[in-house]
A and B are shown apart, each in its own frame.
Chain A
């Protein structure tokens, strides 16, 4: 037959179906009349004639079969019956709108959460960094684990050794984020976040400039004129995005500096979070020419390397280790480097939590699907008689199975559509909640890949859970289920599938609840950490007092003192002070070596014990509410002639165990001549760098002895500190209108930033666990409600035989309790294993924390009890008469 005829047939089958069917009815009707005529002519009674005619056509059911056979013989009949299945599935879903809504919402939740988290995982872990051949970038750390610095910066000579000795890396570049430089000239003066980079830094990184160029080796040559590279935001805001700025000179730190180029709007400097290189730098300057000759103990360089093609990170690591060994052997300074892939190192902190969350949403989806499977099984069971009828009328099991699959797929695709929508909204919420330090998360988006991912998991699950009710199908005999009493006989068997599903569900929820519970506990512990100082009503800002303006150290000290007094006298301000390095800031920390007098001089390679060192003005520790253990705070009378310091308890214990540190002297730093300082005060250890780790001892030096610029001012208010911003700006402007003031923000934001990733992951985990709990309760409810419905007759009979409501209730509840106990036991075992994955996130909480396990169990048992109670209550309402009536 020609293709055209086939197409015409297909068109008729699909679109002229009603007409064709009507004609078929007509034809069979006509045949019937002819036969009746013939029998009447043969002398039959009209009734007998009609019966005989029908028999010749196959009897009443037979005529239906004949019609069905004709239809199945048509071209495209299988496609047509698929459409029929679709229509049937659609109608079946709408006959039980409540059930369908529950299933779609359940799926939307599971699939949506997966789509959102998958898009984040992809953006953060799977996509390469936005640099050329980013997989060839490595980060080199100086490993001084012995003194508490396993991930520290390198020195200039170290960089030279790497450049000269490496065979695996073509180039090494380095960066040092110093703080700020002053931009003056036209417009208001301002402080720009800046960094020094080696002239090859951007080539090594694999990033191009948007305008002009990045640095070249001549920019770092001896006597080279000063140059600067701008970030896009600054270029736009300060220079009106005028491209002619490239090649012109601007005033940086009162020095004429040539702009060589502008980095693109999208450029981000994505270095590991603990490398003290903020990703929102505004300008870059080239290092000085003799960088590589500097003292080996001057550790400040963050070094990246670009591996040659075909080299693995392990090979590069071995190569760099060999260089470290050579330095140790030949130069007598101990060196150990750690070389890690930049991509992996960037996400070091978030990788674990993110994967844990991914597993978490996976479990959530599993629970959601188990729920839907369980609800579908229930519906299949309630349709058992219909199924039996269809089998009896000659429907093939394959046909019924296909219909069950079609129904499952229709349901999942609806769920997936709702899920993508949920995922989109969820991702929006997630991005809004995401901490600033997770800057890469901003690139997460729901696109075709995520959509494909969603579609694949939906289809896989759709097929799997349509098979669950299909097991029901094959258990249904054509005869058995048509008999009215058969349901109570069949019950125990078909009930088992659903009971197993519910136990699995409870177990999975227990795992999620315990995991989230542990994270919540750990977060609560972190919130409770006593950081040693107060931040609640403190406003901070930075301001630089440039020597070029004030002329002498004396003038700067006087200006600083005056500014502090003016701030302290503002209405609403109760105290003010300034510090060189704010806690939890992303700028580099300042570490100095310390040693007792008379001990061997500390080695010059930076391997000696170090303390976190900060310069503070008078009043700073008082403003922060730091507790003085012994001695006194600084006064305005400190002078370089009599250098004094305040140390924390940790340092006091290390240097003078068992003795008072007050009045003791020690050597601070390696600058020659050795600086001998005496201790005038001992304070409690402050958590200045990490909320959860006690890293190093602390030393505070009076600003009057050691001036740093810029300083961060801290004022304590007697009301909401944010409201103080305008007053503070006005006070600084009144003091000197040319002073740039920036980073005005509540102190709490710095502490909050240290907690933000943990808060974020904890919040997500808790949300997933809550969803899991809710879904599981729905699941338990569904199964028990079904069990009660099936045993309605039995309960009625038992009531009739004298069972009281308490007995019936106990019966149903004990059924639910069996699930809950079995699921909880399995869940506890699973959680004990899963909790080990969370270990790194569990600050001050044991992975088998009994309280978390207890509370989680209590939650799931309460949820299950509630879910059981409703059907149990319904069971008690069954009266003996009900049972009789249903017969």
Chain B
């Protein structure tokens, strides 16, 4: 069976974005690229669908956006992780681990 992109589970996009930004600040297209690379194409995120998530996270204070210039010389809005975002990422990770464990247990039966 051909490997095809999987739809991202609701609510997990936040976690993926936060995790991506934990390493270094990125702009929207960069975040989409990174998620696709890391999951080796399992998750394909269109840059369009990222904007609502980014703006919500920024509004909640987990990430902060500022204008900067890409290595190619283009202007772009870079997002970086805040301290609150770090705490949120830890919480979300724990939460995710619990879900993964639970699902794993169901599947193992």
Contact = CB atoms under 8 A, between A and B. Distances in A.
Given A27-B28, A27-B77, A73 B49 contact: no
Interface in B59-94: 59-61, 70, 72, 74-77
A20 to B, nearest CB: 9
A26 B51 CA distance: 12
B47 A35 contact: yes
Interface in B13-53: 27-29, 46-49, 51-52
B49 A66 contact: yes
A684 to B, nearest CB: 94
B69 to A, nearest CB: 10
B98 interface: no
Contacts of A637: none
A66 B52 CA distance: 7
A33 interface: yes
Given A1-B60, A34-B27, A69 B52 contact: yes
Given A34-B74, A57-B46, A27 B60 contact: no
Nearest to B56: A73
B46 A70 contact: no
Most buried by B among A9, A28, A57, A75: A57
Contacts of B51: 24, 27-28, 66-67, 69-70
A185 to B, nearest CB: 89
A56 B48 contact: yes
A30 B46 CA distance: 15
A67 B55 CA distance: 11
Q: Is the interface of A mostly helix, strand, loop or mixed?
A: helix
A70 B48 contact: no
Nearest to A34: B29
Most buried by A among B55, B56, B72, B76: B55
B61 A34 contact: no
B70 A34 contact: yes
A74 B55 contact: yes
B48 A62 contact: yes
Nearest to A13: B59
A30 B77 contact: yes
A70 B54 CA distance: 9
A671 interface: no
A343 B98 CA distance: 76
Nearest to A20: B55
Interface in A50-77: 56-58, 62-63, 66-67, 69-70, 72-75
A56 B46 contact: yes
Contacts of A66: 48-49, 51-52
Contacts of B72: 34, 37
Contacts of B75: 30
Interface residues of B, number: 20
A31 B46 contact: no
Interface in A826-874: none
B72 to A, nearest CB: 6
A1 B56 CA distance: 12
Interface in A11-46: 24, 26-28, 30-31, 33-35, 37
A126 interface: no
B28 to A, nearest CB: 5
A1 B28 contact: no
Contacts of B29: 31, 34-35
Most buried by B among A5, A35, A66, A75: A66
Nearest to B73: A37
Contacts of A37: 72, 74
A72 B59 CA distance: 12
Given A34-B76, A73-B56, A58 B48 contact: yes
Contact of A57 (B47, B52, B77): B47
Most buried by A among B46, B52, B60: B52
Contact of B49 (A1, A27, A58): A58
Contacts of B46: 56-58
Contacts of A27: 28, 51, 76-77
A75 B59 contact: yes
Contacts of A74: 55, 59
Contacts of A62: 48
B61 A56 contact: no
Contacts of B47: 31, 35, 56-57
A4 to B, nearest CB: 11
Contacts of B49: 58, 66
Most buried by B among A33, A62, A63, A67: A33
A9 B49 CA distance: 22
Contact of A70 (B52, B61, B77): B52
Most buried by A among B51, B56, B61, B74: B51
Contacts of A73: 52, 55-56, 59
Interface string A228-256: 00000000000000000000000000000
B28 A31 contact: yes
Contacts of A35: 29, 47
Contacts of A33: 74
Nearest to A55: B46
B43 to A, nearest CB: 15
The 6 A-B pairs with the shortest beta carbon distances in the complex, nearest first, are A58-B48, A69-B52, A57-B48, A73-B56, A66-B48, A27-B77
6 contacts: A24-B51, A30-B75, A57-B46, A58-B49, A66-B48, A69-B52
Given A33-B74, A73-B55, 13 more contacts: A27-B76, A30-B75, A31-B47, A34-B70, A34-B76, A35-B29, A56-B47, A57-B47, A69-B51, A70-B55, A72-B52, A73-B59, A74-B59
